[in-house]
Structure 1
Amino acid sequence: MRYFCKKSRFLFFLFLVLILLLGYTLYFDTTGKSKQASIGGDSSLLRSRKSQRSGHTVATVENHQAVKGHNTEKTQISSKANVGEVPVFITVKTGRTYHQTRIPLLLQTWFNYAANETYFVTDTEDEDISRQSGRHLIVSGCGDGHQRDALCCKMGREFELFYLFGKGKDWFCHVDDDNYLNVPSLVNLLSQFDPNKDVYVGKSSLGRTMSLHWEYKSIPAILTNASRSPFWFATGGAGFCISRHLSQRMQPYVQNGKLVQMCHFTGLPDDCTVGFLSECVLGVPMTPSRLLHSHLEIQRVPVDQLKNHVTFSYGVLGKQETLIPVDGPFSKTEDPTRFKSYHCLLNPQVEWCPR
């Protein structure tokens, strides 16, 4: 009888231990699921997690949400310069049409010198480009054409990305997908300005100011005090940069679709409207730089000065090509944009540059 009581007590004790272990497991399983649900089901714009690549946070946009993603894949196509962290947040406007033509060339060349700071804003998902860019392909939810609304929508997304992921950066810079960006020269150019002041650096494509026909417009309340004077704008085709201080002042006018609304008011494309916002609304005129170049100008930069310039592009103006005036090492057949040849001029140590 005494043996039976001892055995019963032992079985009862074992039963209690099993109950406690089961309850412990269920508690933490439920807690973990609730935490996951609170992250995955958050209705805010930002869902974040840490990247394992150099401790850097990267991003992509899915279903119109900005997401900081995880990347452990090897994404470099070219040797990466040891330039340290760049104090600039860079966005590249692109679209589905150019995923297989323009973007691979940028990934092969200058992107590698600011990979952590550069994001591509597009209109269509592309797994290959997303992987190769370290999940820095941003699907904007905007149209895929070259119409005003699509351009202004993407530009608004570019600003929003800076507000989300550019914290700690001194500058927000925009370039197009047909620009070569000389990153060290960009950093050198911007070092001449104070990011804590209002600075808007770019290059005009017109060589003159623009004006709005205010008499035909219904003025939104937010623009009641805007100047009606002519203004300068920096063409997006040459790239432009905005200081952190000025970009923060622009925030109420550009995020959450506000830039598209302003484009409707001006009747102008995105880069013109940014110029209007900067000078007429906020009182900050463009600071011109001769180191920025678009496809709308014939390049006559002396070869010995090419390394000092910040952006170049390519195209045809009239009957003349607007290419970087650099000789070799690739032929025009091998390198029709001259980006690869220019990249090798700047970085002869890159493994695919001819010796």
Structure 2
Amino acid sequence: MVDTKLGDVVIVILSQPNSYHADRARRVQIDLMEQMKEFNKEEIPAVYMTHKKWPIIGTWTIFPLLEKWSSDFALKKWIFFCEEETRINLKKFETFIKKFDPTKDLFIGHALKDKEPTIIHHFTSPNKLTFPDFAAGVLLSFPLIRKMRLRWPDENFRADFAIDPKHELASYILLDDVKLTDAPELCLTDPGPKCITHVAQKFPDCGVPVSDDDLFVAVKTCEKFHKDRVPVVLETWAKETNNIEFYSETEDKSIPTIDLGVPNTERGHCGKTMAIMKRAISHPDISKKKWLLIADDDTIINLARLRLLLSCYDPSTTVAMGERYGYQVSKGYGYDYITGGGGMIFSMPTVQRLVDECQCSSNDSPDDMIIGMCLRRYSIPISHVPYIHQARPDDYSEGYLSRQIPVSFHKHWNCNPIQIYNMLKQYDKTSGSNMNTSSKDEL
């Protein structure tokens, strides 16, 4: 056992400024403060929320925090970072850290592994590395943090796009020949007797779902997919709503589709997306809705579950939510954006702001990135929703998916989209309306 105290640790909660997410992070902090009453003051860890302590771009990737941690906590031994749904048993955590030597280069977490090379991990071989689930918590020794800081940014490390921070962090640390130390005691599911951490809930339950009439659904398609992708949507999740329209460059009354006067493009689709937003704001019925979902014709989504999720957010404020990616944010600048395949969700005040002030440089500009740049300019934060997914289920590790109830996936390629939709629906039958893993947050 190593003579390490909780006072040698800094606990960092990867928080978000949106009121719902900030409240969830605050609950982690409050729970820890309650537990700290059982410890001497000089033995308790410092606890910070990133959106309060370091309100800078890209903290969710960890890299912009390396310099801050190195300078602010030079006398500490460990950084332990986690997410807003992480719950920590401090007594068990104190025993846990004594097992490790803080003078070594250590990277400790609950190990995840891909089943096969996947696009979201740059087709890295699954045998090359394991990576930690941030929701279970990650422990970094300060010698490793300082070593990472000294060579960051590394021109040899792919960092322009931030897609999956847990995999990208593990890839960067591997360049120092440091592999993840697997700690199954950092748990993902229900708290067992050996668990030091666990995830508080698999899915939010904020009360009554928003009504179908409060959510308008816009599906982007094109003529070549009218007989391929669109029938899958019509057969599955389109049946969950009475408020849906399909937008194409060609009018097809059999679907039906609406021609917005924007030609189809092979990539980007910014012109079509902005035309959808303009229609939403100007249409007398659509403009009365509280929320706008923009989806692709190969998005696979459970709309009933999305409406339950939306009950956690205030539609009278500027809300933009989905799966968050980033461009250049690992270097402390750039912007976040909502990757479109899993679904982009906006409150109507946000749609109005984008229609008024955001412009595409061309019809084939990348819509998700242009919107991300505009939101950054207007200081509207993107709320990352881990239940929305840009890729297929097979592109995510089983452990990661085990601790959540998903809202959406994306792509019809090399998979059965109807089978995936039925899987999404199956959670409704097995989980009921309350999808939490436990009935209370505290340990």
Among residues 286, 302, 308, which one is paired with 2:382 in the alignment?
A: 286
- Preserved contact between residue 322 and residue 385 of structure 2 (Cα < 8 Å): yes
Match of 1:176 among 285, 296, 308: 296
- The equivalent of 1:252 in structure 2 is 356
Bigger relative CO (Cα 8 Å, ≥ 6 apart):
2
CA gap 1:347/1:126 in 2 versus in 1, 3 angstroms: farther
Deviation at 1:113, TM superposition (A): 0.7
Answer whether contact 1:210 1:231 (CA < 8 A) is retained: no
Which residue of structure 1 lines up, in the alignment, with residue 419 of structure 2?
Answer: 338
- The superposition leaves residues 80-112 of structure 1 with CA deviations (integer Å, 9 ceiling, x where unpaired) of xxx963411111111111100100011011101
Q: For residues 119 and 185 of structure 1, what CA distance do their matches in structure 2 show?
A: 20
CA distance in 1, matches of 2:366, 2:246: 19
Is 1:90 aligned to residue 210 of structure 2?
no
Q: Is the 8 A contact 2:214 2:291 kept in 1?
A: yes
* CA deviation after TM superposition for structure 1 residue 338, in Å: 2.7
CA deviation after TM superposition for structure 1 residue 121, in Å = 1.0
Equivalent-residue separation in structure 2 for 1:196 and 1:336 (angstroms): 34
Q: Residues of 2 paired with 1:260 and 1:289: CA distance?
A: 25
Q: Matches of residues 1-355 of structure 1 in structure 2 within 5 Å? A: 85-114=212-241, 116-130=242-256, 137-148=257-268, 151-163=269-281, 164=283, 165-205=285-325, 209=329, 229-254=333-358, 259-261=359-361, 268-280=365-377, 282-295=378-391, 298-300=395-397, 308-314=405-411, 335=416, 338-339=419-420, 341-342=422-423, 345=426
Q: TM-score, normalised by structure 2?
A: 0.44
- Secondary structure of the structure 1 residue equivalent to 2:255: helix
Displacement after TM superposition at 1:339 (Å): 3.7
Distance 1:341 1:305, change over 3 A: farther
Contact 1:205–1:296, Cα closer than 8 Å, also in 2:
no
Q: Percent identity?
A: 24
Question: Residues 207 and 311 from structure 1, CA distance in 2 versus in 1: closer, same or farther, beyond 3 angstroms?
Answer: farther
Code of the residue aligned with 1:338 in structure 2: it is: Q
TM superposition score normalised by structure 1: 0.54
Q: CA deviation at 1:250?
A: 2.0
Distance 1:138 1:191 in 2: 30
Q: Distance in 2 between matches of 1:235 and 1:229?
A: 18
Separation in structure 2 between the aligned mates of residue 342 and residue 207 of structure 1, nearest angstrom: 32
Q: Are the aligned partners of 1:295 and 1:315 in contact in 2 as well (CA < 8 Å)?
A: no
Note if contact 1:234-1:271 (Cα within 8 Å) is conserved in structure 2: yes
Q: Per the alignment, do residues 304 and 87 of structure 1 end up closer, same or farther by CA in structure 2, a change over 3 Å counting? A: farther
Alpha carbons of structure 1 residues 312 and 245: separation in structure 2 relative to 1, 3 Å? same
Amino acid at match of 2:355: Q
CA contact (8 A) 1:293 1:311 kept: yes
Where in structure 1 are there 5+ consecutive unaligned residues?
A: 1-82, 131-136, 212-227, 324-334, 349-355
Q: Would the alpha carbon gap of residues 127 and 315 (structure 1) be closer, same or farther in structure 2, given more than 3 Å must change?
A: closer
One-letter code of the match for 1:161? Answer: R
Query: What amino acid sits opposite 2:309 in the alignment?
Result: L
Post-superposition Cα deviations, 1:166-198, rounded to whole Å, max 9, x if no partner, equal 222111111111111211111111111111111
Could you tell me how far 1:248 is from its partner in structure 2? 1.9
Which letter maps to 1:250?
L
Determine helix, strand or coil for the equivalent of 2:246: strand
- Residue 244 of structure 1 aligns to which amino acid in structure 2? M
Taking structure 1 as reference, are residues 341 and 123 closer, same or farther at Cα in structure 2, changes over 3 Å only?
A: same
- Pick the structure with more strand per residue: 2
Shift in CA distance, 340/247, structure 1 to aligned 2, threshold 3 Å:
closer
Task: Show CA shifts across 1:301-326 (max 9, x none).
Answer: 677777x321112356xxxx6x5xxx
The number of residues matched between the two structures is 217
Q: Is the CA contact (8 Å cut-off) linking 2:218 and 2:295 kept in structure 1?
A: yes
Q: Tell me if structure 2 keeps the 8 A contact 1:314–1:337.
A: no
Determine the C-alpha separation between the residues in 1 that align with 2:421 and 2:392. Answer: 20
**3-state SS, counterpart of residue 293 of structure 2:** strand
CA deviations on 1:230-255 (whole Å, 9 max, x unpaired) are 2100011121111122222222125x
RMSD: 3.1
Q: Is the 8 A contact 1:113 1:183 kept in 2?
A: yes
